[in-house]
Amino acid sequence: MLQALKVGLLIERSNRKNIVALLAVIVIVFGCMFFIKAQSVGDQLNEKKGDYYSSRAVLAKFQVQDASRDGDGSDLFKNLTQQKSAVALQIASLTVENYPMYYEASYRIAELRQQAFNMEEYEKVKDLLPSKFQNSMNYLYFKTMYESGKNTISDISHYIPFLLYFFSLVGVGWYIFMSFYTSSILLDDFEHSSIIKGYPVRFDQYVISKCIIAFLYVVAFIALIFISATPLLFNGLGDGSEKVTVYLGDPALISSVQYIALCIVYMLIISIFVMLLSIILNVLLKNMYLTLFVHFILFFLPIIFPSIISVLPYSPFHFMNFNEILSGMPLDLVRPVDVTMNIGLLIMSICILIMLFVIKTFFSTGKIKRA
């Protein structure tokens, strides 16, 4: 095993793919910083102004009615009018930086929307409002913030809030990034056949050594995210205990640091899964582009056709975009599916063991040969 690791390290040391991948991580992190600044991402005042215009659009679905307590307007129209007023209060409270009032108004909106779900004509406006599940997540968050008397809001230009924002998006691209990185995990080495032939090792030992080396680079990629974001420390560290709403079987609140740690665990497990799958595809297909093609098909199929998630809820590829699972997205499908990332971790772990068994049983053929 040590001999295989030495061979692998000797080859990887001169592999330009690793340098390109490290540079890509740095570029992506800095690109995200510039995007946030250019697009005013996280500017809640602008976001609430957008919500205000949306609330006006919702009311435009109705004829002008009397929304006063004793007026002739429908219950839903009165409810939506109150939501509009609460959004205006959100804007006013953010403008004067009265954050307790902001959380109170936000909590009030979540309450009103809960009531609206059971009112007549709700179907007319449901596409313009958050779903029941999304509202339950908002309700939990703002209720907790209001009752705890929180008097600050998160600033995404600070270190920890930025990392929280970055890791809340990384699930969209991590599988793709790892697919590119590992698509030729075995094929690259056959360019150095003279080195490999000098160190005869069993295929399974060779595979494990390749996975260990690739895993070390994955750890380096993740560490580089934290290092690349350090310029934001000049703006401030941020609050690591800031709450984030997640779905873990039920809506729950966890700290920003816990959310980031969860994402890192999922990223590491997904990386091992992708490495082993790429190894099997490399051996079977003997082509980097075909390996990438299969990866893309498996990843994008449930995105293009979300109904597949309802038909095959426990496919491991439904869990690759872990941010969506943590946000409870499958519960908002036409046919809701109650899956969590705990189930996803179990399924991916089982798949990893199966792939290791396949590699050990069917691909261990003595000396390494050119694919």
pLDDT tens-place string over residues 50-80: 888 888 888 877 766 655 666 666 888 888 8
Long-range contacts of 96-100 (CB under 8 A, 24+ apart): 99/150, 99/151, 99/152, 99/153, 100/146, 100/149, 100/150, 100/151
Residues ≥6 apart with Cβ < 8 Å to 60: none
As a whole number, mean pLDDT of residues 317-327 equals: 90
pTM summary value: 0.89
Mean pLDDT over each residue of the chain, to the nearest integer:
86
Q: How confident is the model at residue 198 (pLDDT cuts 50, 70, 90)?
A: low
Question: What is the spatial distance between Cα 210 and Cα 355, in angstroms, rounded to a whole number?
Answer: 15
Give yes or no for a contact between 348 and 269, defined as CB atoms under 8 angstroms apart: yes
Question: Which residues face 255 on adjacent strands?
Answer: 243
> What residues does each domain of the chain span?
2-40+157-362, 44-147
Question: Which residues face 254 on adjacent strands?
Answer: 244
- What is the structure's pLDDT at 192? 54
Tell me: the pLDDT tens digits for 291-309? 999 999 999 988 888 788 8
Residues ≥6 apart with Cβ < 8 Å to 225: 25, 29, 163, 166
Q: Return the HEC string of 205-257.
A: HHHHHHHHHHHHHHHHHHHHHHHHCHHHHHCCCCCCCCEEEEECCCEEEEEHH
Tell me: the pLDDT tens digits for 221-274? 999 999 999 999 999 999 999 999 999 988 999 999 999 999 999 999 999 999
- What is the structure's pLDDT at 167? 95
User: Would you call 71 helix, strand, or coil by DSSP?
Assistant: coil
Instruction: Give the residue from 13, 311, 297, 33 showing the smallest Cα distance to 161.
Output: 33
Determine which of 41-55, 267-281, 319-333 has the lowest per-residue pLDDT on average: 41-55
How is residue 365 written in tokens? 């053929």
